[in-house]
Every structure is written in C-alpha cells, then in structure tokens.
Structure 1
Amino acid sequence: MKILSGLTIMVISMAFRLDFYQSPNRVRSAVTSRVAHGRDLPEVKLPTFRKDTLIITKFGAVADGLTLNTSAITKAIDQCSQKGGGVVLVPAGLWVTGPISLKNNVNLHLAKGALLQFTDQREAYPLVSTTWEGEDAIRNQAPVSGTDLENIAITGDGILDGAGDTWRMVKKSKMTDDQWKKLVASGGVLNDKKDIWYPSAQSLKGASGVTKAGQPLSYYQGIKDFLRPNMLSLTRCKKILLEGVTFQNSPAWCLHPLLCENITLRKVTAKNPWYAQNGDGLDLESCRNGLVEDCTFDVGDDGICIKSGRDEQGRKRGVPTENIIVRGCRVYHAHGGFVIGSEMSGGVRNLYVSNCTFMGTDVGLRFKTARGRGGIVENIFIDGIDMTDIAGEAILFDMYYAAKDPVPQHGESNELPAIPAQPLTEATPQFRSFQVRNVRCKGAETAILIRGLPEMAVKDILIENAVLQSRKGLVCIEAERINLKNVALLTSAKTVMQFQNSQNVTLDKIRYTNDADLLMHITGDRSRTINLLNTDTSHAKKTVVADANVQANALTIK
C-alpha cells in the first residue's frame, strides 16, 4: 500500500474539460436533457365514465360483516359495464367479498366509511394463469383483477383489505417474543427450524420445494395455500385511475399493473405490515405512460417499484417500463423508497421522480439487478428527495442483488467475495444515464454505494447537490463516468470515499466532516482518471491511500 507521498498526483491549472456528458452516446444525452423535466413524456390519458350509478345493495349486498357479497358485487359490475359503463357504488359499511373482476368502463367507487373486506377463506380464490415476480406462473386469483380492459377505475375514500394474514408466512426474526407466541398459538405450522410460521401445512409444503412451472393442475392444488396472490392485478389494461382509496393487508404485492398503458395513481395509500414478505406497495411492470402522485406507502417490501420481467422470459417479452412520473409521494417502512428491479429484464427508461420523502426505509433510492437479468435501465431523473433514518444505503446501485434483505440480519454480512468477470451476453444487465439532484438524508448506514460487475460497470451517473449524513460515505466499485458535484458526505467513518476498479470519476466540491482520517482510498488495477476538483483536502488527516496495484497517475487534484 502506498500513501499520498508515494502517489503521483497531477495538479492541472488549465480549464478542466468535463467528460461526463461526452460519452459515446451523445444523441442519448441530448434526449435525456429534455426528458429530465418530463417535457417530452406523452400525456397520461385519464378514463372517463358515465354518471349512471349502481349501488351494490340493489343487487343483494349486505354490510353485516358476515354475508359473502361476491355475487352481488359481480352482478353490479357486469350490469354497469353492459349498459355502457358508469359508477358502481360501495356505500359505507363492512362488506365481505371473494375475489372480484373489473370490467370495461366501470368506476368502482368506495364511499367514505366503506371497508371492502376480502374473505380469509382461501378456497374462495381459484387458481389462475398469471405471473409471479416477472415470470409466468399459476397462482390464486387476486382479490381484485382485470385483463384486457379499458377505461377502469377504483376511487373514493374507502378501504380494500386483502386478508393477507391468512396467506403470509412470517419469520420469527421479524416479531417480538410475545407477537411470535401469539402467532404460533393461533394455528398454522412451523418449519423444522421453528423459525418460520406458515398458515397451513399446504403452505409449508409449497415453501419446502421448488415450485415448478408447466405442471398439471393437480400439482398446484397440492400447494395451493402457498401460491399467494397479489392484491390488485391488472394485465394489458388501458386508461386506469386509482384515486383516494386505501389498499391494505395484501397477501403479496399490493398493486401490480402489468403491460398496462396510461395509468394514474393519485392520493392512494398502500399499507402492509412491515414484516410482510413480498409485501411491495406498487409494482409497475412493463407499463408505459404513468403518473404516480401524492401517494403514501407503508409496506413490508419495496415501496414504489419499477419492473419489466425476469431473466429470459422478461427479455423475450421485451417490453420496458417507460415514461413514468412519480412526484410528491411518501414512503414510510419499506425495503426501498423508490426502486428499480430486480426484475428489469425488459428494460426501464424515461422515469422522472421528484419531491418525495422516505422515512425509515431500509434503502432510499434502490436500483438493483443481477447477472442473468439482462435489460438496460437508462434515462432516470430524480430531483428533490428527503430521507430520514435509512437503515442501509441512501442511494444504491447494486448489480449483485441476491434476493436478501437489504439490511443484513445480526451476524450476517453483505460483503462480496472476489468475483471474476464473465463474458458479455444478452443476460448482462446495464445501469446507465442517471441524474440525481437535490437529495437530503439525515441518517443512513451508507451514503452512496455503487457496485457494478467486472464485465459491466455502472455508467454515467450524476449526483448533484446532496447532503448525506451517514455512518459510511461513498463506496464506488466497478463504475465508469461517475460525477459527484456539490455533495456533502457527513460520515463518522475513518475513510470518506472508497474506489475500486472505477474510472473517469469526477468529484467536484465535495464536503465532509472535519478531521476525517482519510479522504480517499483507491484500490484495483483498473482504477484510473479520478478527478478531485474544488475540494478542500485540509480537513482530512490524509488525502489519499492507494494500493500497490493502482496506477501512479490515477488521481488528479485541481
């Protein structure tokens, strides 16, 4: 290892030529500058409805908390659609129902005080062909679903409850001792290690083996309880509005539009218990032209998540999620506040996220993928994010996602072993062309973690005007054309910034805590062209340490 005195540092007096936007893809950069503020995104088309209103009580629905109202609600929706559309009204009251299907031109409106409670009787949900985490699958029918529809909505001030507790397995580590004892006493079964509770023996059976695709129906009937549905499943639908309502207690993902166009979520709340496995709030998968605004998420997995299919099936589908605006949203407990991946094999592009707040999420801005996914994520613009009490990374680009909790359990480590490069194929994922501006974070484990693959670096990342208070500062591994401008890394760690096999990095106006032991640690024989500009290095006891295999002129200070 060699320290500052032994490392050649080039101090340049001439004007520094910033290469960040002079990448080989100049045309793409010109396009992204216009898209950054949403100016080039298509207008999101809203559905329109006739004023005709059908009340579910006219079809025999009873709000006694006991009567199963599936038939009455279905009849109201069917008749409304057949007559040209309009509003199906769910009045105030407790309405128990089985799964329901939306129909063309129908606005399902839940009045203030209405609770649409989906039954906890799992046999009421038939097995259907659908998808699970980006691949074709057999699952139980979603509490609310729709396929190949147009002009649909769920609106109002009411609540839809998915009875998720009757489906979900629960890890002992997620609960207090008293909660665990109460859960075990309620019924269900435990695994051999006695650390995961399942609602039934059938659910445990499904979890104990690999669920195989393409099997006869009898195979899935034998593990039916394990095949948890998403709460709202919309497939190939156009002109969708979700407004005002609360979706809560989902068996798995809460809101899942797949291959949909022109979708608007406004003032929607999604709530799942914090321990809810796969309890995502919103998963937009292979969707185009969307607006998510003024929504609230408090869930057990990722909050606002963008996907486009998994691995070979996702690449074969080849439909990116694109042209999405997210603004003015709040995320409380979640694995990630705003997330892309990990199932992004069809690609993601042209997303604009602004003025959002993440409080107590495991990760703030979470971009995750893995070898085998493929797909390109590009043209992502983020502006105005406030975060508090982030358990993991405030900003994360991770190409080694391994379906583990983002924050290690006690005794676990998220450190990676040495991993050799692999040949580039269609299964190699790519993250490129992100702009992140005006981010504030009060409390995180790590401010910024960028972790690319040896064969495919994370590329073209701009982070500008950020104040990040965290235990660790910047960790940058296998990255190219990274630009941090006017970023405060207020960390208690001895080393503020770490670089491994990263190149064409520009650090302009970096601020950090006084009396830091070390400002920069550089490792890897492929680290080069790291430029430190307009930064006061006197606040650190030592400016740079470089490992022996780092090129002598890897760092330039101006």
Structure 2
Amino acid sequence: MGVGGSFLRLHLRGQGICHMRSASFFLVLLVLATIGKPPWAAAHNFHCKHPSSGADRPHSVSITEFGAVGDGVTLNTKAFQNAIFYLNSFSDKGGAQLFVPAGKWLTGSFSLISHLTLSLDKDAIIIGSMDPYDWPIIEPLPSYGRGRELAGERHQSLIYGYNLTDVVITGGNGTIDGQGSIWWNWFNNNTLNHTRPHLVELMYSTGLVISNLTFKNSPFWTIHPVYCNYVFIQNITILAPLDSPNTDGIDPDSSTNVCIKDCYISTGDDLIVIKSGWDEYGISFAHPSSNISIKSIFGESRSGAGIAIGSEMSGGVSEVHAEEIHIFNSLHGIQIKTSPGRGGYVRNIYISNVILTNVEYAIRINGRYGEHPDDYYDPYALPDINNITIKDVYGVNISVAGLLEGIEGDIFGQICLSDISLNVTSEDSTWNCSYVEGYSYLVSPNSCQLLQKIPNDSSVCYSPADNLTLYSGGNCSISSYVTLASL
C-alpha cells in the first residue's frame, strides 16, 4: 500500500484513533496511499524508546471516595483538592495514584503533587468549569513579564503543578475537556480580563509523563511544560475546532530533555511549538529549551504549523530533532518565527521525514513576526538563527514551497535543505528567500539562489549526531524518567 498504509498501521497502534474520523483524515490517508513511497531511504536513528509501563504506585484511591459525583453537573473541585491533599502523605512511601472512574467530572482548577499518578478510566471525562472564578488568578511567567494576551496576571490552568517531581498523567484514553468555547468568545470579543488558562501547565518540575489520553477544547495552549526537565509525552490526542484561537497542542517552554511521540493533534494553532520566553523578559530569565525529540506526529491546523519554533524564543532554542511528521490541511508545515527585539537563538535544528498534504507554506522562516510584550524591548536585540537542517520532505498540493526571510543586518545562516520534493500548485509559488545563507541538494522545485549546492563535505550541514545529547544512554523511556526524577 506504500507510505499511506504503513502510516495507518502505525497510528492504529495508538489509543485515541477513534477521534480521527474526520473526512480530512481519511482523505489524506487515501492521498498518501496512492502517491507511493516518498524519497526516503530509511528512517534516521531516534533517541526516544517505546516505554513499557508507567510508574507503579503502592497506594491508590478513587475520586469518588472524596465525595465526587460524575454527573457532569456537580462541581468537584473540592473533591480533587481533598483527594490530592490526602495522597500527599504517601509521597515519601512510593507515591500514590488518584483514579478517576467512568463519568463526567466537572471541576475547576486543581494542583498536583509530587510522586502522583492521575489515572483516568477510558470512559472518564474531566470537564473544566465554564465559570472563570473556578480558574484562580496567578502571577505571570517571569520569562514573559506579563500575561501572554493581557498585561498583568493570568488564569491558572485546569490541571496545574509547581516544583514537582515524578508526576504521571495517564489513563485508558480517558478525556480532559476544557470547555474552551466561552474563553474563545471572550477573546474574540475583546472582553477578557486576564490571559486565558492552559488546559495543563506544569512549572519548574522534573520527571513528567503524559500519555494515553485525549485533551479537548483547551481555553488557550493545551499542554504547557514550562521551566521543566525530563518530560515524556506519548500517545495522546489533542482536539480543538480549527477556528479556535491560539489552541496550540504541545508547547515545551524553557524546558530541557523533552520527548514527544505518537500524537494526533488537530487544533486552531501550532501543533507542537517550542518556546523560551518573550523579548527582554526571556533574555533576562535566560532559560533555554534544548534537547527536544519529536517523532510520529500527525495532524492539521488551519492557521498554524505542524512543527514550530517561536516566536517567543528569547531564552534560546537548540538541539531539536523531529522526524516522521505528517501534516495536512494546514497553513504551515514547518515554521520558525522570530523578530528584531527577540534576541536569543535558534540553532542545531534537525527535521526529517515529513509528509505534507494540502499545506499553504511547506517551510517558512519569518524574521519579522512582530508583537512585543511592551515598549521596553531592545529593537537591536537580534536573534541568532543558525544550523537548521530540513531534509526528506515530500509534499502534495503545496501553495508555496518556501518563504525564508531573515533580517537585514542579521543573516540567518547554515540553512540546509536536502531531498525535498514538493508538488506546488503554481510555478510562481516556489521559493522566496532574503537575508539567509546555506545549502541545498535535491530540492524540487529548485531552491533559491541564496542556498548554494551542498559541497562534497556534507559536514557543513547540521546533523543531530554532532551535538545531540538526549537522555542517559539515548534511552527516552518512562522508566528512565522516573529514575532520573528520583535522583
């Protein structure tokens, strides 16, 4: 059957496939099945190994033991808070599990603790309250200096954690639904009082596992690990309407050693986007995102990208390795976003084995993305964009092959494109490049003149073998994360 059949078999192994029944999904599978094998010789070595199991907890309770009612109407915030307070007594005894059985469990925001597993039954749905008073107001992130949408404070995420170790959020493909429509309306009507909440946000935490769940209708970004280390996200489905504003899928932010695998994401903005702070606040806070592995991602975004970096990247982003990316019906396939005033850097990025179908811009680097937190940023703080390798890309029905725009006086260098075949809809919609330097080889349609032919010494292009130091022994498994978290 070719690549389409192989990819279908891959994703049927994951839980959450029942949520992929849109006409677009089957259309793209049909297209991929008929176009034959793309020009890939073989997949590159990858640093994330398939996890065998999660952490075993010697103690477990059900949310019903704390008075929770799963009728979709009763507010269960106190039940979640009381259950987690009780389980904190087991944190030094191997930790504990909070089980959420079948039912619809309405709740406001609640905070997790260390050495905890939050486990959902396959028919369990945690539902976010539509009352903004059930989402507390908290301080802005120090690397942003203010709320991302409005000056001042912001709403706390539905599931929140701060300074935690060894946390697992998992289940039998249960669901966490943020009921974000009311927040999207407030945003569209300019009636927000504070920046919208995320669905899941974990801060300053180590040893995090999120797996085997569906996340729906986040008010804002869906999963946001920020200032975290050793984060493992696998086999999840993220869904939001394609016109929902800024409902990013997964946003590793100023975080290191992050592994994201086997996910289906359909949202109103970027599917996976790597960040590290905003202008002068991100520069001052100086917490980069690094050592990030992304593999086997499938999805669509009407206004975003499949894999994105920025535009908030002022703390720096480096050592990113992404492969087996399948994007359809989207604005961008791969995008790097930055601007004068951002400072920071994006370097040592390696993206390979990408399939794009019905995508407007296959590859885009935007050096003037704009938007600043306030008037105190330094317009002469220019970003350093270097060592970007994109290879083995196959695209069908592409509107624009590539738009690569650096900044005058700030050349984006070592941009390497190779083994790229894009079926563009017009001969005039090929490559448009300015203020970039680099190399290209076997690119169709022909890349821009600013990207020279790769010389025989292929070491001019960045490869993850050069610098990538992901995880101890190259092992990105749940057990290794739990071990590292306990050190």
- Using the size of structure 1 for normalisation, the TM-score is 0.67
2:439 to 462, 473, 483: 483
Q: Is the 8 A contact 2:142 2:285 kept in 1?
A: no
Partner letter of residue 326 of structure 2? T
Structure 1 segment 370-385 matched on structure 2, within 5 A = 370-385=339-354
Rg larger for: 1
SS at match of 2:301: coil
Verify the 8 A CA contact 1:47 1:152 in the aligned structure 2: no
2:57/2:117 contact within 8 Å kept? no
Q: Which residue of 1 aligns with 2:245?
A: 277
Q: CA deviation digits over 1:392-438, x for unaligned, max 9?
A: x101111011369xxxxxxxxxxxxxxxxxx994x101211011111
* Distance (Å, rounded) in 2 between the aligned partners of 1:437 and 1:51: 46
| 1:262–1:289 CA contact under 8 A, matched in 2 | yes
| Amino acid aligned to 2:184 | R
CA distance in 2, matches of 1:315, 1:378: 16
Q: Which amino acid aligns with 1:362?
A: L
8 Å Cα contact 1:47/1:151 also seen in 2? no
Partner of 2:453: 506
Match of 2:108 among 98, 122, 139: 98
Please give the secondary structure, in 2, of the residue aligned with 1:168.
Answer: helix
TM-score between both structures, scaled by the size of structure 2:
0.76
Q: For 1:111, which of 114, 121, 135 is the aligned residue?
A: 121
Q: Does 1:350 align with 2:360?
A: no
1:451-466 equivalences in 2 (<5 Å)? 451-466=405-420
Identify the residue that residue 67 of structure 1 maps to in structure 2.
74
Q: Does structure 1 residue 310 correspond to structure 2 residue 325?
A: no
CA distance in 2: counterparts of 1:89 and 1:497, whole angstroms: 53
TM-fit CA distance, 1:169: 3.1
Aligned counterparts of 1:43 and 1:375: Cα–Cα separation in 2: 33
- Counterpart of 1:149 in structure 2: which amino acid? L
What are the equivalent positions in structure 2 for 1:429-440 lying under 5 Å apart? 429-440=383-394
Matched, 1:288 2:298: no
Alignment of 1:247-266 (within 5 A): 247-266=215-234
CA distance in structure 1 between the partners assigned to 2:117 and 2:281 by the alignment = 33
Distance, in Å, in 1 between the alignment partners of 2:142 and 2:263 is: 24
* 1:76-475 pair list within 5 angstroms: 76-84=83-91, 85-131=95-141, 134-137=144-147, 138-156=153-171, 157-169=173-185, 197-198=188-189, 204=191, 206=192, 223=193, 226-334=194-302, 335-391=304-360, 393-402=361-370, 425=380, 427-470=381-424, 471=426, 472-475=429-432
How far does residue 227 in structure 1 lie from its aligned partner after superposition? 2.8
Deviations for 1:153-173, whole angstroms, at most 9, x for unmatched residues?
Answer: 110111011121111137xxx
Deviation at 1:37, TM superposition (A): 4.9
Separation (CA, whole Å) in 2 of partners of 1:333 and 1:343: 19
Contact 2:419 2:442 (C-alpha < 8 Å) held by counterparts: yes
Q: 1:261/1:42 Cα in 2 relative to 1: closer, same or farther (>3 Å)?
A: farther
The one-letter code matched in structure 1 to 2:355 is D
Letter matched to residue 142 of structure 1: S
How far apart in 2 are the matches of 1:458 and 1:508? 19
Q: Supply the distance in 2 between the matched residues of 1:457 and 1:43 (Cα, whole angstroms).
A: 39
Could you say which residue in structure 1 is the equivalent of 2:478? Answer: none
Contact 2:143–2:284, Cα closer than 8 Å, also in 1:
no
Cα offset, 1:151, TM superposition: 0.5
Q: Tell me the equivalent position of 2:479.
A: none
Distance in 2, Cα, partners of 1:368 & 1:48: 37
* One-letter amino acid of the counterpart of residue 146, structure 1: G
CA RMSD of aligned residues (A): 2.6
Residues 507 and 488 of structure 1: CA distance in aligned 2, closer, same or farther (over 3 Å) = farther
Structure 2 unaligned spans of 5+: 1-43, 148-152, 373-377, 457-487
Higher mean C-alpha displacement, 73-82 vs 375-384: 73-82
Change (3 A) 1:505 1:347: same
Structure 1 CA distance for aligned equivalents of residues 195 and 144 of structure 2? 15
CA distance in 1, matches of 2:293, 2:315: 19
Moved segments of 4+, more than 2 Å: 36-39, 41-44, 46-49, 130-137, 496-499, 504-509
Shift of 1:43: 12
The separation in 1 between residues aligned to 2:89 and 2:178, in whole angstroms, is 27
Would you tell me which structure has more strand in proportion to its own residues?
1
Q: Deviations over 1:268-301 (max 9, x none)?
A: 1111211111211111101000110001111111
